A and B are shown apart, each in its own frame.
Chain A
């Protein structure tokens, strides 16, 4: 919607939206959703209102615009003005609506019975229990007895919690995030002298090296980095910037690399150390100071290049070439994951990656310590251990939980929920049941972030505002309001004079306005900020030495790495975060469960990835349940043989294996945290991740795995094609045009076409998908589900092969299981469509604008169209799929909800086309290129999808299909698809 409009248009729309937001949607109004007898001014039936707010599905803090239709928010899209995501969202962001409308949310306050059953109570009762409990604690007079554990909050709410806790004679506000990046922060302190997380500027780099950092999935700010990555990878005159990934598993990020350097968990450090040794030892970088050399020496002490090569299996030659490539680059950037639990030696790896950048003067441009990430404020996991200890010792009398679920994310060996049981008063503000809330005594459900006022600052210089984008769906309250009411009750209105948290927020922003924009009236500043979605510096840190962070000589005292013999019978183990579940909080969003994992293509379930050769040698087949044992615990998971891990490594995704997270988090298998010890890593204060091996034992049961791919390989069908850079250059230079079967009259040849061409009027819609930009993240799929009311069918139906996705990202391994290609597949809207000719009742209908419309009402369900579709994009309604209340509130009223027995498929977002045409007609003109776009193209973080009019020779699609890389899928069938692909560009991973 918003992608194509210019800034001025956008502001005009948002001006309206923001004002109406102020009038109509404060937390003080709209508690219940009833039809309007006298409608409010801002709701025009059938017209959407867009509210700017901030996504809180992860700490990245992307700006979003929420589309509100008749009082319901039906879609979220990225805020094009926001510096973090610039209009894009990932699948988690798209699925935030499923957090809002989750049918498992608490309908109101609950009290937990002794047997652990929540019993509904009224807010008055709930508040009474809370205040009495707190009152008792205050009476006893001990300090620091009340603890707030929240996810990462910042700004006004954080300040208010601090103030409130101060009134309660406590300072214990723990910002708990499972992904706290302690090693990264620690390493940055060692190397750069700043214990924090800078803004990385992938778009300024020309060589990228990732040591396990999954920046396209969950790492720090995945939408922002995916955008930057797309810019980084855009081919330029000198070629295409290279990206190498070092890690134990072919992750989504690794799949986008030129080369995946396989390294066992913890061996990333060795690879980095090897590169450092080459760089310093062979003088590849001229200006290395003696002190830097000393730093490197202290980091790599006890290691030799030969030992590293032998230990990691990465040859000396490869290490040397990697180092050489790094040294030659003008602005290389090395990233390390820096998550303490995912690999051993995370701090060492992060320090080594930091040192790599520190040695190369050009690297500093790519690391911006001005824009420190708010993630640096997260408390280390050590603080949670202190809390556990204090709870065990009976030194904590009340715990207030805000959106934090440590009982799930901490290793079970911590027994966090047992410690929690020692606390006399545990209050959860969680909107829905989770593993930690299960141990609470009182549940006072908070608003979902989309119903709340607030602000959040993902990094220095950027502060997003959150505003309610609709009235509360359930009988919940703003957490700030709950604290405010309790404070007023306990300390009187003098200490808590504010009317509501909204007023606190507005006051805070008006004060902020006086500071940031002294000339502007405070109220105007506030309103502008709400309209815009926050405040941020228009001009980001200037180029050059923006880091402001002198590299300091460091002395590292990491324990020596032992490169012992490697036992063949045991396995390395890695638990990896996925783009959908983040730390597991996404597991109760049905869209996220239903959309396949980008790499394994598995839906609805935990699994363990095992190399197919290993599985064969252990006599394990797909779905065989195994128990994985580490010295610290064991987990069960079904085996999924997949060439994404080396034969000696097992990988389990993080985020599944919930026990109490609602009806959608059904995958009982595989929370990899179960294999970790309970200790704290003294190096970084994060979770301890010692180097250990796991064993595997077959349990004899088989759990079906609901994966949606039919094959790992392309079988020479040339769906996802590629081209070497050299061939591309040659082709381009030769001026050869791609041979296309255009879905236009000029694409018809009487010699091969029996029927005459269609005549299109004004428009012939088409799409171009750039496979070189597509990162395979699946954000487009989530957007499509949201926009088009695509049904979620659940695990059982997917096992029967009945997923309903209108758009899918096909994943193909290379012929030798090396490397992965992603291939997004919407309906091709063929001009010579095989589906149209076989339907007896004209339900697939070719429109005057080239759309292959599916007329649901005409469909009698012969399914011949789907059988005849070579792309297999048609989806049949095997049942009347329904959505449990209130998930159905999300349904887009512009799109028909289909009943059983009819076929459906991608419509090129025909409702958006019609809306744009209406809009253009009102102004007496034609729809302009880029004025609107489809839901998938709108959200694509890499801008891989372009939609437009093929009849307009100046449109972006018309220009893009002139590219030498353009081709059509299965074009030999003469279907004349209107979806064009641009071949992926490949290059030698390392220059010789």
Chain B
């Protein structure tokens, strides 16, 4: 890494916080319109009933849970990059950690909405919480949905705290370079950061602690999400491979999403020298790894279905590959397990166009993976008389568009109001690199 002065870091990174151009506002408005669309669709659904979505008997769970799992998955690589790689001291993570962490927070927030949207009677959702109540009832701690509530809320809390802790010194930098109301707001959020040794000491400890806390969550949260399925008895869901399979899938999709977001970001904010091609290449290499795990999991599912001798299990997997949703299944296999192998070729993983294109394909493939898992099992269970099909309605599409819009809306705000790259860590890394190459 070339030597960059500390002030250059500040300058470069804070550039994204200068008044944006028209294009930004157009994008922001579009995203907001999408959020409004999603909100209206949800309001309509609450008013009429869940029948406005396409879910039915036997596919009681549709795009809402697909999107839930999808977004939780997206969230994971954020934590992976910011926490796990931090603990492993992977230097290339520094430039992207902040965005990845923001992505985590936003994705978990969006994901967290879906269980609400999915409920038949969302107005009494708080009954799922263990709180002292007149009915003298606990929630059912046997239910994976209660695990879910605990896991997701824990994850959201820890991610937000981790993200915010990392932000404090940077917010102070922003505070110091701004005036008026802006100074007050950033001043409030920088919690009186002065940059004393004592503060740096505490900061370092806290950051390490949260990183250490967040790391097991990457594994546990998606494992818990997978238990929503694995703890049921539905053929195709009831499987011990689900936890590692989901975690790998989550990281796979999350890494792809990181690429999808970073490639335009570095271009727009001219961060090419900070988020270098080397970093993107490293992500691509990790994607090869996760893609192989995911592909392995696909194979193992078939092996286990065959080996189990369970008629329903076997039939479900055969049906996934050749039945009504075969197209979705093959999209999943191709995009998640086959296409990423192209990253073995150096030319592909160092070409931005390929990187971006393949990351989009993996995103699509991972969405379809959740579709195939959820719909592909629910539609084809034990009782042949109750087999059925599912296709989403405009309400579900509206809410899906709304969820993506909300994510990008939040991300756009983030890009405008928060230093998108950790100045603190960049400076640290810069110093390290200087030390390594005197």
| Chain A residues near B (Cβ < 8 Å) | 709-711, 713-717, 719, 797, 800-803, 808, 810-812, 823, 825, 834, 837-842, 858-864, 866-868, 870-872, 875-880, 900-903, 970, 973
Are B145 and A859 within 8 A (Cβ)? no
Collect the chain A residues with CB atoms within 8 Å of residue B231's CB: 838
Least CB distance from B374 to A in Å reads: 9
For A808, A860, A875, the residue with the greatest tally of chain B CB atoms inside 10 Å of its CB is A860
CB neighbors of A among B171-187 (8 A): none
Please choose the segment from B201-209, B257-265, B381-389, B403-411 that sits at the chain A interface, where 4 or more of its residues have CB less than 8 A away.
B381-389
Of B54, B120, B139, B311, which is within 8 A of A900 by CB?
B120
Least CB distance from B124 to A in Å reads: 5
B320 within 8 A of A: no
Question: Scoring B residues 221 to 246 as 1 if CB is less than 8 Å from chain A, else 0, what string do you get?
Answer: 00000001001111000000000000
What CA separation (Å) do A717 and B381 show in the bound complex?
10
Collect the chain A residues with CB atoms within 8 Å of residue B49's CB: 877-880, 900-901
Collect the chain A residues with CB atoms within 8 Å of residue B315's CB: 715
Please choose the segment from B10-18, B55-63, B295-303 that sits at the chain A interface, where 4 or more of its residues have CB less than 8 A away.
B55-63
For B60, B118, B228, B381, the residue with the greatest tally of chain A CB atoms inside 10 Å of its CB is B60
Contact A860/B121 with A802-B51, A900-B49 known, Cβ cut-off 8 Å: yes
What CA separation (Å) do A864 and B146 show in the bound complex?
12
Least CB distance from B56 to A in Å reads: 4
Residue of B nearest to A837 (CB): B142
Are A860 and B127 within 8 A (Cβ)? yes
What CA separation (Å) do A446 and B199 show in the bound complex?
91
Contact A842/B140 with A862-B118, A862-B145, A867-B60 known, Cβ cut-off 8 Å: yes
Least CB distance from B16 to A in Å reads: 41
Collect the chain A residues with CB atoms within 8 Å of residue B437's CB: none
Least CB distance from B224 to A in Å reads: 13
Collect the chain B residues with CB atoms within 8 Å of residue A709's CB: 385
Collect the chain B residues with CB atoms within 8 Å of residue A872's CB: 57-58, 381-383, 385-386
Question: Scoring B residues 113 to 125 as 1 if CB is less than 8 Å from chain A, else 0, what string do you get?
Answer: 0000011111011
Are A803 and B140 within 8 A (Cβ)? no
Collect the chain A residues with CB atoms within 8 Å of residue B140's CB: 837, 839-842
What CA separation (Å) do A903 and B120 show in the bound complex?
9
Contact A870/B50 with A803-B57, A900-B120 known, Cβ cut-off 8 Å: no
Residue of B nearest to A710 (CB): B387
Are B127 and A710 within 8 A (Cβ)? no
Are A878 and B51 within 8 A (Cβ)? yes
Contact A861/B143 with A797-B51, A876-B60 known, Cβ cut-off 8 Å: no
Of A810, A834, A838, A901, which is within 8 A of B385 by CB?
A810
Are A710 and B48 within 8 A (Cβ)? no
CB neighbors of A among B113-159 (8 A): 118-122, 124-125, 127-128, 137, 139-140, 142-146, 149
Are A858 and B145 within 8 A (Cβ)? no
B378 within 8 A of A: yes
Contact A840/B382 with A860-B125, A878-B51 known, Cβ cut-off 8 Å: no
Least CB distance from B336 to A in Å reads: 24
Are B128 and A840 within 8 A (Cβ)? yes
Are A859 and B139 within 8 A (Cβ)? no
Residue of B nearest to A900 (CB): B49
Are B232 and A868 within 8 A (Cβ)? yes
What CA separation (Å) do A901 and B50 show in the bound complex?
7
Contact A711/B385 with A858-B127, A868-B232, A870-B233 known, Cβ cut-off 8 Å: yes
Q: Count of B residues near A, CB < 8 Å?
A: 48
| Chain B residues near A (Cβ < 8 Å) | 48-51, 54-61, 118-122, 124-125, 127-128, 137, 139-140, 142-146, 149, 228, 231-234, 311-312, 315, 378, 381-389
Least CB distance from B357 to A in Å reads: 36
Of B139, B228, B383, which is within 8 A of A841 by CB?
B139
User: Can you sample 12 A-B contacts with CB below 8 Å?
Assistant: A710-B383, A710-B384, A713-B384, A810-B385, A825-B385, A840-B128, A841-B128, A863-B61, A867-B232, A880-B49, A900-B51, A901-B120
Are B145 and A710 within 8 A (Cβ)? no
What CA separation (Å) do A880 and B120 show in the bound complex?
11
Collect the chain A residues with CB atoms within 8 Å of residue B50's CB: 861, 876, 878, 900-901
Of B128, B228, B233, B311, which is within 8 A of A834 by CB?
B233
Collect the chain B residues with CB atoms within 8 Å of residue A811's CB: 385
Collect the chain B residues with CB atoms within 8 Å of residue A715's CB: 311, 315, 384
Collect the chain B residues with CB atoms within 8 Å of residue A858's CB: 127
Of B121, B228, B378, B387, which is within 8 A of A901 by CB?
B121
Collect the chain B residues with CB atoms within 8 Å of residue A802's CB: 51, 56-57
Are A867 and B234 within 8 A (Cβ)? yes
Least CB distance from A522 to B in Å reads: 56
Are A839 and B143 within 8 A (Cβ)? yes
Collect the chain B residues with CB atoms within 8 Å of residue A879's CB: 48-49, 51
Collect the chain B residues with CB atoms within 8 Å of residue A710's CB: 58, 383-388
Collect the chain B residues with CB atoms within 8 Å of residue A973's CB: 233, 382
Of B51, B119, B234, B311, which is within 8 A of A862 by CB?
B119
The 6 closest A-B pairs by CB, nearest first: A861-B120, A710-B387, A878-B51, A901-B120, A801-B56, A872-B386
Residue of B nearest to A870 (CB): B382
Collect the chain B residues with CB atoms within 8 Å of residue A825's CB: 383, 385
Least CB distance from B137 to A in Å reads: 7
Of A800, A808, A841, A970, which is within 8 A of B54 by CB?
A800
Are A812 and B385 within 8 A (Cβ)? yes
Collect the chain B residues with CB atoms within 8 Å of residue A862's CB: 118-120, 145
Contact A861/B383 with A838-B144, A840-B140, A841-B140 known, Cβ cut-off 8 Å: no
Collect the chain B residues with CB atoms within 8 Å of residue A842's CB: 137, 139-140
Are A866 and B139 within 8 A (Cβ)? no
Collect the chain A residues with CB atoms within 8 Å of residue B385's CB: 709-711, 719, 808, 810-812, 823, 825, 872
What CA separation (Å) do A837 and B238 show in the bound complex?
14
Collect the chain B residues with CB atoms within 8 Å of residue A838's CB: 142-145, 231-232
Are B143 and A864 within 8 A (Cβ)? yes
Collect the chain A residues with CB atoms within 8 Å of residue B388's CB: 710, 801
Least CB distance from A49 to B in Å reads: 36
Least CB distance from A816 to B in Å reads: 16
Least CB distance from A377 to B in Å reads: 43
Least CB distance from B316 to A in Å reads: 11
Residue of B nearest to A708 (CB): B385
What CA separation (Å) do A714 and B233 show in the bound complex?
19
Contact A717/B383 with A870-B233, A872-B57 known, Cβ cut-off 8 Å: yes
What CA separation (Å) do A878 and B121 show in the bound complex?
11
Residue of B nearest to A799 (CB): B56
What CA separation (Å) do A970 and B144 show in the bound complex?
23
What CA separation (Å) do A37 and B355 show in the bound complex?
81
Least CB distance from A796 to B in Å reads: 10
- In addition to A808-B385, A872-B58, 8 A-B residue pairs with Cβ atoms within 8 Å of each other are A800-B54, A811-B385, A842-B137, A858-B127, A862-B119, A870-B383, A872-B386, A880-B49
Contact A902/B120 with A861-B50, A866-B57 known, Cβ cut-off 8 Å: yes
Least CB distance from A482 to B in Å reads: 45
What CA separation (Å) do A878 and B59 show in the bound complex?
13
For B51, B143, B381, the residue with the greatest tally of chain A CB atoms inside 10 Å of its CB is B51
Collect the chain B residues with CB atoms within 8 Å of residue A808's CB: 385
Contact A719/B383 with A866-B57, A901-B50 known, Cβ cut-off 8 Å: yes
Least CB distance from A866 to B in Å reads: 5
What CA separation (Å) do A902 and B122 show in the bound complex?
11
Collect the chain A residues with CB atoms within 8 Å of residue B127's CB: 841, 858, 860
Residue of A nearest to B144 (CB): A838
Are B121 and A859 within 8 A (Cβ)? yes
Of B51, B60, B121, B386, which is within 8 A of A902 by CB?
B121
Of A714, A871, A875, A900, which is within 8 A of B384 by CB?
A714
Contact A800/B56 with A717-B311, A834-B233, A839-B140 known, Cβ cut-off 8 Å: yes
Are B57 and A861 within 8 A (Cβ)? no
Collect the chain A residues with CB atoms within 8 Å of residue B61's CB: 863, 867
Least CB distance from A741 to B in Å reads: 14
